[in-house]
Amino acid sequence: MGQDDLFGSSVNEPQAYDVAARAEWLRNELNRHSHAYYVLDNPSIPDAEYDQLFRELQELEAKHPELIVSDSPTQRVGGEPLPEFHQVRHEVPMLSINNGFSEEDIQNFDRRVREGLGNDHDIRYACELKFDGLAINLRYENGLLVQASTRGDGFTGEDVTVNIRTIRSIPLKLQTTTPPSLIEVRGEVLMFKSDFAKLNQRQRTANQKEFANPRNAAAGSLRQLDSRITAQRSLRFFAYGIGRLDGAPMPTRHSALLDWYQSLGIAVCAERTVVSGAQGLLDFYAVIGQRRTQLPYEIDGVVYKIDDIEQQKILGYVSRAPRFAIAHKFPAEEATTTVLDIEIQVGRTGALTPVARLAPVSVGGVTVTNATLHNEDEVRRKDIRLGDCVIVRRAGDVIPEVVANVPERRPDNAIEFVMPTACPVCGSPIVRLEEEAIARCSGGWLKCAAQRKGGLLHFVSRRAMDIEGLGEQLVEQLVDKGLVNTPADFYHLTLDTLSDLDRMAKKSAQNVLDALEKSKTTTLARFIYALGIRHVGESTAKSLAKHFGSLDALLASDEARVLEVADIGPVVALSILSFFSDPLNRQLIDQLRASGIHWEEGEPEQSNDLLAGKTFVLTGTLPTLSRDDARAMIEAAGGKVAGSVSKKTSYVVAGEEAGSKLTRAEELGVVILDEEQFLKLVESGS
């Protein structure tokens, strides 16, 4: 299939070579593709082809400067840095909006609205997202973007036109032959989470300061005096309001205003709707709250506006905020607090994680007292010290982390963190391999109680041996009293020993024994996973079990055979082989089998071609598999992985934040799989 089939044929390509016509055609083509990519989120052309057309236009304009027009895509990046930003007085002030936090706040808002309108019926509200970026005013005169300004104090902002022109979701010219003589489009400039991550990665590589969050990154990028820097920062824009309008009728509804914007080629967010009554508002809040972490950008709430513009006018404004709108905020995902101490946590593989003990603070609706600092390099890079005031973040179910310090609020006596040289739990030396970011306790299971506890907890965990009732506190007691040292010891516990422990009655002790007994009937995959071999997660354990069929076959295998397994590379293979070659581990396995743990053994797998002839496209982030894992699994089963979706694609495997490839797959009717369905397919071929 040629590119034209894939992306739709180009329109009106001039045959005879007429420079002016060619330049105009190139401008239109480039604008059309930019719009498809940045506004419709549906790319219509590969990047390389876009770049080629762009270069052609640049060369044409260099030879014929008289052909350059201000809305040419080549004119997005300005020249020399500005000495400063000029002040801009807003003709219509840019107001703020009142906040509500609870259901009651929203019900009160709706009641005030109905009272103000003398209306007993349900009010129609336009619902949209509250973007966490910066408010911008875009001034279009006769369809051309002539000025862009920040909100500032609401009355006077700064002229950031040259920077705004670099944002490709903002049209330099409105898509209409009958533009209003003047329109001020208002909306939010923001940075997508993925672009933020890439930017920080670049900053890190260049040894430059990282940004604390996408909002700061967007603000920092927009306030650059050198627009060439802004141009490299992938900013986005969503419109949500209007300032002055001359020479066109004002739409009668807010929702119609946004639809009009969309028809003019201005980006508006797809997550918008019109509902009626307070219950409609609360339903919208709940739906968006569920999806919040999956959105490609950050929001800090939702916004409700009366849809009917006439009704908006009747209600009007009270001190700098409208009576007809309210922001319903989500619990903040970030908060500032003080670092009381930095402690070292030892994980089951001996990995040392610096953890900040914090003055209690509410983040995302939960009180946080600890936050991870990941590793030593991270503490250094972020320059986090004891006593520092820091930003902590907790998004969704993710473990809270320290994002950055607040330099202005560092006390004089802040103490620098020093990584210990001995394990704080067992005193063994700490080693850090050169190529690894993680420092580890060298004590291993036998010497280090922290590793022992971690390993035992992993063994009993739900996805491993699934022994209910053996929780953290119980395992801690068993280890501290020397009653359990290896997983095999669990199976020798008696009713008397267990019921003697703190907070254990006969009944709960018997429950633990029953759960232990039940766990003896298991699967080979669970058993392998439960052993806690480094780099062997659940999916690798499953692959091993399936490939070898029996534990003895696995124990007897060598590197070449382990490398035959679908998603296993040299590092993982080495870890598996060295685990099984350790006599203590062999002994443990024998003891566990002797205590009655058993599973149904299967036949070793023949090399398979289950997916022969099938082409996959991977997009977005899968919950547990990395791209490389998924690719290895597909290839091991004889399938192929392609970079873009076409009619020939057999399956698209889509994860979180899947973008245009997913849309394309939907359009073409290609089968879309989530991770679970994908794993099933790889295992069974159907």
The answer to whether 426 touches 344, Cβ cutoff 8 Å, is: no
Full 3-state SS string of 392-458: EECCCCCCCEEEEECHHHCCCCCECCCCCCECCCCCCEEECCCCCCCCEECCHHHHCHHHHHHHHHH
Tokens of 386: 């004891």
Task: Closer to ligand IVH by CB, 188 or 401: give it.
Answer: 188
**Angle of helix 214-222 relative to helix 193-205, nearest 10 degrees?**
70
Residue range at the interface with ligand IVH (CB under 6 A); choices 32-40, 81-89, 129-137, 388-396? 129-137
| CA–CA separation, 351 and 430 (whole Å) | 9
| CA–CA separation, 587 and 71 (whole Å) | 74
Contacts 24+ apart (CB under 8 A), 366-370: 366/394, 368/335, 368/337, 368/392, 368/394, 368/400, 370/400
**Chain-centre distance of CA 52, in angstroms?**
32
* Residue 156 in the binding site for ligand IVH (CB under 6 A): no
Q: Name the minimum Å distance from CB 135 to ligand IVH.
A: 3
Task: Closer to ligand IVH by CB, 188 or 388: give it.
Answer: 188
Q: Name the minimum Å distance from CB 370 to ligand IVH.
A: 32
Task: Closer to ligand IVH by CB, 6 or 95: give it.
Answer: 95
Residue range at the interface with ligand IVH (CB under 6 A); choices 111-119, 125-133, 549-557, 579-587? 125-133
Task: Closer to ligand IVH by CB, 241 or 532: give it.
Answer: 241
Q: Name the minimum Å distance from CB 128 to ligand IVH.
A: 4
Q: What are phi and psi of 592, to 5 degrees?
A: -65, -45
Residue range at the interface with ligand IVH (CB under 6 A); choices 1-9, 13-21, 92-100, 105-113? 92-100
* Residue 332 in the binding site for ligand IVH (CB under 6 A): no
Residue range at the interface with ligand IVH (CB under 6 A); choices 122-130, 227-235, 405-413, 669-677? 122-130
Residue range at the interface with ligand IVH (CB under 6 A); choices 130-138, 246-254, 513-521, 522-530? 130-138
Tokens of 543: 């692959």
Full 3-state SS string of 178-200: CCCCEEEEEEEEECCHHHHHHHH
| CA–CA separation, 441 and 351 (whole Å) | 7
Q: Name the minimum Å distance from CB 296 to ligand IVH.
A: 15
| CA–CA separation, 134 and 190 (whole Å) | 7
| CA–CA separation, 255 and 239 (whole Å) | 12
* Residue 27 in the binding site for ligand IVH (CB under 6 A): no
* Residue 135 in the binding site for ligand IVH (CB under 6 A): yes
Q: Name the minimum Å distance from CB 188 to ligand IVH.
A: 5
* Residue 160 in the binding site for ligand IVH (CB under 6 A): no
| CA–CA separation, 265 and 686 (whole Å) | 43
| CA–CA separation, 564 and 497 (whole Å) | 46
* Residue 325 in the binding site for ligand IVH (CB under 6 A): yes
| CA–CA separation, 244 and 401 (whole Å) | 43
Per the DSSP assignment, residues forming a β-bridge with 126 are 274, 305
Task: Closer to ligand IVH by CB, 312 or 540: give it.
Answer: 312
> How many secondary structure helices (H) and strands (E) does the chain include?
27, 26
Q: Name the minimum Å distance from CB 174 to ligand IVH.
A: 21
| CA–CA separation, 201 and 211 (whole Å) | 10
Q: Name the minimum Å distance from CB 661 to ligand IVH.
A: 28
* Residue 130 in the binding site for ligand IVH (CB under 6 A): yes
Q: Name the minimum Å distance from CB 159 to ligand IVH.
A: 18
Task: Closer to ligand IVH by CB, 272 or 458: give it.
Answer: 272
Restricting to residues 231-270, name those near ligand IVH by CB under 6 A: 240-241
Q: Name the minimum Å distance from CB 317 to ligand IVH.
A: 8
Residue with tokens 């028809």: 263
Among 27, 151, 385, 394, binds ligand IVH (CB under 6 A): 151
Contacts 24+ apart (CB under 8 A), 370-373: 370/400, 371/399, 371/400, 371/401, 371/402, 372/399, 372/400, 372/401, 372/402, 373/342, 373/401, 373/402
* Residue 184 in the binding site for ligand IVH (CB under 6 A): no
Q: Name the minimum Å distance from CB 82 to ligand IVH.
A: 23
* Residue 229 in the binding site for ligand IVH (CB under 6 A): no
657: left (phi over 0), alpha (psi -120 to 50) or beta: left
Q: Name the minimum Å distance from CB 326 to ligand IVH.
A: 10
Task: Closer to ligand IVH by CB, 325 or 611: give it.
Answer: 325
The answer to whether 439 touches 352, Cβ cutoff 8 Å, is: yes
# residues near ligand IVH by CB under 6 A = 15
Q: Name the minimum Å distance from CB 90 to ligand IVH.
A: 12
Among 110, 128, 298, 401, binds ligand IVH (CB under 6 A): 128
Restricting to residues 529-548, name those near ligand IVH by CB under 6 A: none
- Among 130, 173, 329, 542, the active-site one is 130
Residue nearest to ligand IVH (CB): 135
130 a catalytic residue: yes
Q: What are phi and psi of 142, to 5 degrees?
A: 50, 40
Residue range at the interface with ligand IVH (CB under 6 A); choices 94-102, 141-149, 167-175, 201-209? 94-102
| CA–CA separation, 428 and 562 (whole Å) | 32
| CA–CA separation, 540 and 534 (whole Å) | 11
Residue range at the interface with ligand IVH (CB under 6 A); choices 93-101, 348-356, 481-489, 603-611? 93-101
* Residue 303 in the binding site for ligand IVH (CB under 6 A): yes
* Residue 96 in the binding site for ligand IVH (CB under 6 A): yes
* Residue 188 in the binding site for ligand IVH (CB under 6 A): yes
Among 7, 85, 131, 459, binds ligand IVH (CB under 6 A): 131
Among 322, 469, 602, 659, binds ligand IVH (CB under 6 A): 322
* Residue 307 in the binding site for ligand IVH (CB under 6 A): no
Q: Name the minimum Å distance from CB 124 to ligand IVH.
A: 17
Among 69, 97, 386, 513, binds ligand IVH (CB under 6 A): 97
Among 69, 82, 95, 574, binds ligand IVH (CB under 6 A): 95
| CA–CA separation, 486 and 446 (whole Å) | 9
Q: Is the dihedral of CA 244, 248, 253, 256 positive or negative?
A: negative
Residue range at the interface with ligand IVH (CB under 6 A); choices 128-136, 220-228, 486-494, 542-550? 128-136
Q: Is the dihedral of CA 253, 254, 260, 262 positive or negative?
A: negative
Residue range at the interface with ligand IVH (CB under 6 A); choices 82-90, 126-134, 559-567, 574-582? 126-134
Task: Closer to ligand IVH by CB, 316 or 569: give it.
Answer: 316
Annotated active-site positions, please? 130
- Footprint on this chain of ligand IVH (rule: CB under 6 A): 95-97, 128-131, 135, 151, 188, 240-241, 303, 322, 325
